[in-house]
């Protein structure tokens, strides 16, 4: 979930992969797949706050310019998924998708993460989008 300009991880199912994230942990939203999915569907003021707070790189691959972030967020809105190509942790990549509430506002994001050489990101991307859509529908049906 997004808290200010950072991602807060509320649940992580581990398979033994060392991650930069942990339950309750925070990472800068611009450097993670879930963070970029959240930013892509957040009000422009939230994105401006992230840029103003700085786009410090976590790895050499982290998006660290306002123009780069703007392009990435546009791409996410076009395809419905976000990618982290070793931006938060070298050797680790992920695909994420947004979760919306009943009011159609962004609430959270889901992701699948793995070792970069083993990740064919479009393949789990379909499953992540489907899971996020299903959760969004459940939130809508519950009026949340």
Q: Are 114 and 93 in contact (CB under 8 A)?
A: yes
pLDDT in the model for residue 14: 66
pLDDT in the model for residue 114: 87
Buried b (16+ CB within 10 A) or exposed e, 89-112: beebbbbbbbbbeeeeebbbbbbb
pLDDT in the model for residue 70: 97
Give the model confidence (pLDDT) of 86-119 as tens digits: 999 999 999 999 999 999 999 999 999 888 998 8
What SS3 class is residue 26? strand
pLDDT in the model for residue 23: 80
pLDDT in the model for residue 53: 97
**Is this prediction's pTM over 0.95?**
no
Q: In what order do the strands lie in the sheet with 2-3?
A: 2-3, 6-8, 26-28
Average pLDDT over residues 61-67: 97
Give the model confidence (pLDDT) of 1-19 as tens digits: 999 999 998 877 766 666 6
Query: Given CA atoms 91, 112, 11, 3 in this order, what sign does their dihedral have?
Result: positive
Q: How many residues appear in the chain?
A: 144
Give the model confidence (pLDDT) of 15-42 as tens digits: 666 666 678 789 999 999 999 999 999 9
């Amino acid at each position: 979930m997004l808290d200010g300009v950072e991602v807060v991880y509320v649940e992580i199912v581990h398979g033994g992969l060392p991650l930069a994230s942990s339950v309750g942990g925070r990472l800068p939203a611009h450097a993670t797949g879930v963070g970029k999915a959240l930013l892509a569907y957040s009000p422009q003021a939230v994105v401006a706050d992230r840029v103003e707070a700085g786009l410090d790189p976590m790895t050499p691959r982290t998006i660290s310019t306002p123009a780069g972030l703007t392009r990435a967020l546009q791409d996410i809105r076009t395809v419905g998924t976000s990618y982290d190509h070793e931006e938060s942790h070298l050797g680790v990549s992920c695909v994420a998708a947004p979760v919306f509430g009943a009011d159609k506002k962004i609430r959270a994001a889901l992701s699948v993460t793995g070792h970069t050489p083993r990740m064919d990101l479009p393949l789990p991307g379909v499953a992540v989008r489907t899971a996020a859509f299903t959760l969004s529908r459940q939130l809508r049906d519950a009026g949340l």
